[in-house]
Structure 1
Amino acid sequence: MELQTPAILKTKPHFEILDGLRGVAALSVVTFHFMEMAISDYSKNFIGHGFLAVDFFFCLSGFVIAYAYDDRIGKMGVMEFFKSRLIRLHPMVIMGSVLGLITFLFDPFGGHPELYSTGRIALIFLCSILLIPFPVVTERAFNLFNLNAPAWSLFWEYIANIFYAFILSKLHKRWLLLLTLLMTVPLCFVCYRTGNLMGGWSGGTFWDGGARVAYSFLAGMLVYRFNWIIRSKLGFGLMLVLVFAAFIMPFSKWNWLTEPLVVLFYFPLIVALGAGAKLSEGLRKICVFSGKISYPLYMTHYAALWMFGNYYASHKPGTTEFSVVVITSVILLVGVAWLVMVFYDIPVRRYLGRKRIADG
């Protein structure tokens, strides 16, 4: 007998253009990570602001969480909310850690696993799958998560979800607005102090991540709570151009000003426009696929990035070879992400969902 999903646990219809934009942001992050391995001067990197895709993710997450749970978290309860989020997010946290461990131990282009004892490597892996920051690997710039660098944003996503469950979901929208305005201060301070909003991923920039998620997650919630959805005939193509423009804007001495402006105003505007834009039938499948692949791609790609960094340092490829390797790698990583999604992520989440219903 097939188990029926309780109505309170069913997924709401998606904003498909926002799903498509999430995929664009994920591809931008992947491309940015390849480019920064080779070009340390971000002003010479054509996608030098690709890291702002994380702030877009945070804003989008605030909007989606408010949309999906504001009207039912009181009925489903905090624990069921946490179960929903863990089932949705954590399988890929584990897979990203496993892939990261494999490339840490068996990188054909370099790396130094011999510098770490079996016990230390086991502890690094355990912290990675449990999302416990543990910045101890020197040659990886003391990333919070040494085996899967992008997991730092998932750590803060979890923190935001905890605050949502206990506080933000109950907060009147006027107080939410005030709190969001207050969170502009740490965001602007971080950017002014460091010259950019690139931090949050390492032990030395840990709290920068808190400032980034605090504002953007709240801003996304505001767009939903105040119904700032802008109905228009803008299609996915134009929305893609608008969001990608933020990632390729010039990297300059004015970052301390331009980056906060993008995060404070532009990304919430993109979310508001994307939620109200019209999607043509011809692009619907692309947006759906883009949305589905975005999270697996984001959480699996960095295992290959460590190897690419060692390859680049040891082989010093020319422009043509570099371009071919990067383009080929991005295509292959999308393929790997699809395989992981189809044969691991979706089946595991379905199994956990069925078990949750059966146990409930």
Structure 2
Amino acid sequence: MHYSSALPLSTKKHFEVLDGLRGIAALAVVVFHFIEMFIPNPENAIAHAYLAVDFFFCLSGFVIAYAYDDRMQQLGIGQFFKARLIRLHPLVVLGTILGLLAFVFDPFGNQWHTYGTGQLLLLFLTSILLIPYPIIGERAFNNFGLNAPAWTLFWEYIANILYALILHRLKRKVILMLAFVAVLGLIYVAKSAGNVSGGWSKDNFWHGAARVACSFLLGMCVFRYQLFIKNRLGFLPLALLLALAFFVPFNEQYNWLTEPILVVFYFPLIIALGAGTTNSTRSSLICKFSGEISYPLYITHYFVLWSFLNYYQEVQPSNQTLAWVIPMLILGQITVAYLALKLYDLPLRRWLNKNLH
């Protein structure tokens, strides 16, 4: 394909600013999830942080196309699937284990007593295998009740499967046409639901398909059409620009339009700028840490949140108490994510890559 050189993955340019932005998006999700636990209308505080998921999907489409478009034929579908499973699934398993432990040993709640051993085992196995099983009513029938963020990994896997089987073979004009259709689908969801925040529950399951289809294909288009905007902004200004999207004020009348505009135009623009920017040495270190911690933080952070909700409802802490409890919990989650990366994910992935030929 003329838009990509057939370089080995290890020798290709690394978009370190995009890695850093992934970490900003992950942190925004964590903050939003805390806020929605104790503020009835979280859109009044950080209105669109849940759109970080759409940024993830868009970035994934860009990165997958960049990394594999020119290698799929040589690599093969089986090797591609193995590479993606090794990259993503160890932390899916860890997130589920943490979620089960937090569910059973929650000091502020005992909802697990209403579910027998068989149900808990089924919840655990379906979560590890990324099979939606929305049976926990106390958790708003999340598709993955033990580890809520896993719903995005479910759709990420679907996108990866379709990429390996079909999308990588298609010409960029066809990808652009599919992206246009997906945009229409996203607008339909936004208009009918009033937002594009769905995909996580049994009641909005198929909204996840609209979100991943739109953003993943748009990310592919950014790469396929080489929409790299040369600039010298670097990481920090782009991080601020990305964060601005999450704080766009909520307007009930026009929200169905605001969110698709951010997803369809603004996030691909941020990725195009991130792919074309230069970065300072100091910011490179920040980007490296931010990028490394982003996925572990995202996929393991939720085990604390249900316990926090039970704590909030039982203890009813003051705002002054929450002002230090929440930052401490977020720092704790970042620490857990870092330890998970260094002590579990990286060693396990190295072992799997070495022993699974």
> Any idea what the Cα deviations from partners look like across 1:155-206, whole Å, max 9, x if unmatched?
0000000000011000000111111001111100111111111100000100
Residue 340 of structure 1 aligns to which amino acid in structure 2? Answer: A
* CA distance in 2 between partners of 1:295 and 1:170 (Å): 28
1:147 match: secondary structure: coil
2:17 match: secondary structure: helix
Retained in 2: the 8 A contact 1:11–1:68? no
2:250 match: secondary structure: coil
Give 4+ residue runs of structure 1 displaced > 6 Å after superposition: none
Residue 266 of structure 2 aligns to which amino acid in structure 1? Answer: Y
Q: Partner of 2:30 in structure 1?
A: 30
**Segment of structure 1 superposing worse, 274-283 or 56-65:** 274-283
* CA distance in 2 between partners of 1:351 and 1:43 (Å): 43
Give ranges in structure 2 of 5+ residues lacking alignment. 1-6
Retained in 2: the 8 A contact 1:201–1:209? yes
2:205 match: secondary structure: helix
Retained in 2: the 8 A contact 1:111–1:310? no
> Any idea what the Cα deviations from partners look like across 1:304-342, whole Å, max 9, x if unmatched?
011111111111111111111111111111011000100
Verify: 1:355 aligned to 2:355, yes or no: yes
Q: Partner of 2:248 in structure 1?
A: 249
Q: Partner of 1:336 in structure 2?
A: 336
Retained in 2: the 8 A contact 1:180–1:218? yes
Q: Partner of 1:204 in structure 2?
A: 203
Count of residues paired in the alignment: 350
Q: Partner of 1:169 in structure 2?
A: 168
1:183 match: secondary structure: helix
- 1:111 Cα deviation after fit: 3.4
2:83 match: secondary structure: helix
Retained in 1: the 8 A contact 2:20–2:288? yes
Verify: 1:64 aligned to 2:74, yes or no: no
> Any idea what the Cα deviations from partners look like across 1:17-71, whole Å, max 9, x if unmatched?
00000000000000000000011213422x1211000000000000000000001
2:206 match: secondary structure: helix
- 1:11 Cα deviation after fit: 7.3
Residue 206 of structure 1 aligns to which amino acid in structure 2? Answer: F
> Any idea what the Cα deviations from partners look like across 1:67-87, whole Å, max 9, x if unmatched?
000010110100000000000
Residue 339 of structure 2 aligns to which amino acid in structure 1? Answer: L
Q: Label 1:86 to 1:43 Cα distance change in 2 as closer, same or farther (>3 A).
A: closer
Retained in 2: the 8 A contact 1:30–1:330? yes
* CA distance in 2 between partners of 1:300 and 1:91 (Å): 11
TM-score, L = length of structure 1: 0.96
Q: Partner of 1:84 in structure 2?
A: 83
- 1:243 Cα deviation after fit: 0.2
Retained in 1: the 8 A contact 2:17–2:235? yes
* CA distance in 2 between partners of 1:95 and 1:355 (Å): 20
Retained in 1: the 8 A contact 2:21–2:239? yes
Retained in 2: the 8 A contact 1:43–1:252? no
Verify: 1:291 aligned to 2:291, yes or no: yes
Q: Label 1:111 to 1:255 Cα distance change in 2 as closer, same or farther (>3 A).
A: farther
Verify: 1:122 aligned to 2:118, yes or no: no
* CA distance in 2 between partners of 1:64 and 1:335 (Å): 27
1:123-142 matches, cutoff 5 A: 123-142=122-141
Verify: 1:223 aligned to 2:235, yes or no: no
Residue 265 of structure 2 aligns to which amino acid in structure 1? Answer: F
* CA distance in 1 between partners of 2:266 and 2:110 (Å): 40
Q: Label 1:18 to 1:187 Cα distance change in 2 as closer, same or farther (>3 A).
A: same
Q: Partner of 2:307 in structure 1?
A: 307
- 1:248 Cα deviation after fit: 1.0
Q: Partner of 1:274 in structure 2?
A: 274
Q: What percentage of aligned pairs have identical amino acids?
A: 54
Q: Partner of 1:3 in structure 2?
A: none
**Segment of structure 1 superposing worse, 259-268 or 109-118:** 109-118
Residue 22 of structure 1 aligns to which amino acid in structure 2? Answer: R
* CA distance in 1 between partners of 2:206 and 2:251 (Å): 23
* CA distance in 1 between partners of 2:245 and 2:11 (Å): 30
* CA distance in 1 between partners of 2:13 and 2:147 (Å): 31
* CA distance in 2 between partners of 1:269 and 1:148 (Å): 31
Residue 300 of structure 1 aligns to which amino acid in structure 2? Answer: T
Residue 227 of structure 1 aligns to which amino acid in structure 2? Answer: Q
Q: Label 1:301 to 1:326 Cα distance change in 2 as closer, same or farther (>3 A).
A: same
Residue 280 of structure 2 aligns to which amino acid in structure 1? Answer: S
Q: Partner of 1:52 in structure 2?
A: 51
* CA distance in 1 between partners of 2:300 and 2:100 (Å): 12
Residue 256 of structure 1 aligns to which amino acid in structure 2? Answer: W
* CA distance in 1 between partners of 2:178 and 2:326 (Å): 42
Q: Partner of 1:318 in structure 2?
A: 318
Give ranges in structure 1 of 5+ residues lacking alignment. 1-6
